[in-house]
Amino acid sequence: MSDHRFRRISRRTAERLLRDAHGRTRATGHERLSDLLAAASAPARDRELAGEQAAVVAFRDARLATAPQRRRPRMLKIALANVLTVKIAAVAAAAAGGIALAAAAGTLPGQRHEEPAPAADTNVVATTSVTTKDKPNSPDKKPDNSASPSPSLKGLCQAYTAGAGSEHGKAHENPAFSALITAAGGADKVPAFCAGQLDDKPGKSDHSPGKPTKTER
């Protein structure tokens, strides 16, 4: 039966078969192959769409998941920034504590402008932690070894105040603000507490929005 071999398919015919499988154009001399390809690409059968509802649910879930995410990043960013502030300040206070304390105590008067071994950022943060230690109102809440909470409270206050307009309700739920709420003595006391915190240090809050630097004027 197969003493005559099948007709060899030219590249051109092959391309046509591949392209026109949907169009049902049958290549002359290759009808059976055309039929086979047409069968392979035949319209959907019901059982092939069995997963439709699950896919639609996934689509719905994906939409629901992305909607809140659009609001979240801002609060997360703020919270993250504060956590970072705390950490950097703490690390810097621990690592460069000696230098910072020495600088604060004025025991290294000649070296202050010379910027010794620690890098510039260390000095900046060390200065921050030192200056916060100078504040009279923070030490009465926190012991001496936790120099960082003060800037973090201030940062939290700034974040809280900045977000108060738009995300007012959410701020209380955000775990990042729990420290602030605790420090203030209650969620309702936060605004007053923050007003005190921010007003207290006008010189330091150079990056707090909308706040003129009264002392320098």
Alpha-carbon span 200 to 141, nearest angstrom:
15
Return the range that interacts with another protein (CB under 8 A); candidates 50-58, 123-131, 132-140, 151-159.
50-58
Alpha-carbon span 204 to 202, nearest angstrom:
6
Residue bearing tokens 């990043």: 73
Return the range that interacts with another protein (CB under 8 A); candidates 1-9, 79-87, 101-109, 203-211.
1-9
Site track for another protein across 3-42, x = CB under 8 A: --xxxxx-x--xx-xxx-xx-------x-xx-xxxxxxxx
Name the nearest CA neighbour of 183 among 134, 147, 138, 143. 138
Q: Which is nearer to another protein, 53 or 215 (CB)?
A: 53
Token readout for 202 is 């006008």
- Shortest Cβ 8–another protein spacing (Å): 7
Give the relative orientation of helices 149-164 and 190-200 as an angle to the nearest 10 degrees: 120
64-93 positions binding another protein, by CB under 8 A = 65-66
Terminal alpha carbon distance of the chain:
106
Instruction: Establish if 59 lies at the interface with another protein (CB under 8 A).
Output: yes
CA 17 to chain centre: 51
- Shortest Cβ 172–another protein spacing (Å): 31
Token readout for 81 is 């920034």
Return the range that interacts with another protein (CB under 8 A); candidates 43-51, 74-82, 134-142, 149-157.
43-51
Q: Which is nearer to another protein, 15 or 121 (CB)?
A: 15
Q: Which is nearer to another protein, 7 or 141 (CB)?
A: 7
The CA angle 17-19-25, to the nearest 5 degrees, is 55
Q: Which is nearer to another protein, 1 or 117 (CB)?
A: 1
Backbone angles phi, psi at 180, to 5 degrees: -65, -45
- Shortest Cβ 3–another protein spacing (Å): 12
Q: Which is nearer to another protein, 2 or 215 (CB)?
A: 2
Helix, coil or strand: residue 121: helix
Binding site for another protein (CB under 8 A): 1-2, 5-9, 11, 14-15, 17-19, 21-22, 30, 32-33, 35-45, 48-52, 54-56, 58-63, 65-66
